[in-house]
């Protein structure tokens, strides 16, 4: 929770951060996790802090 609060303080949405345990033997789980995160970030669009600064 501390990391998410620090991200918010820095102007980064907490939805852009994910912590998930994936073993080195779980290649498909890693690929699925990265795909999920990439889709979530893409849906958020540009970071609002930097978007508003333009």
Distance from chain centroid for Cα 23: 19
> What pLDDT, on the 0 to 100 scale, is given for residue 15?
87
Range of the domain at 19: 2-53
DSSP, collapsed to helix, strand or coil, labels residue 47 as: coil
Query: Phi/psi at 6 (nearest 5 deg)?
Result: -65, -40
In the chain, the number of structural domains is 1
Residue 42 is predicted with a pLDDT of 94
What is residue 52's predicted lDDT score, i.e. its pLDDT? Answer: 63
pLDDT at 12: 86
pTM above 0.75, yes or no: no
Kindly give the confidence (pLDDT) of every residue in the chain, 54 residues in length, as a single tens digit, with 9 standing for 90 and above. 788 889 888 888 888 889 999 999 999 999 999 999 999 999 988 887 766 665
């Amino acid at each position: 929770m501390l990391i998410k609060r620090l991200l918010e303080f820095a102007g980064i949405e907490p939805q852009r951060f994910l912590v998930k345990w994936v073993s080195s033997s779980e290649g498909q789980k890693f690929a699925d996790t990265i795909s999920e995160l990439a889709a979530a970030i893409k849906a958020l669009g540009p970071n609002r802090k930097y978007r508003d600064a333009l």
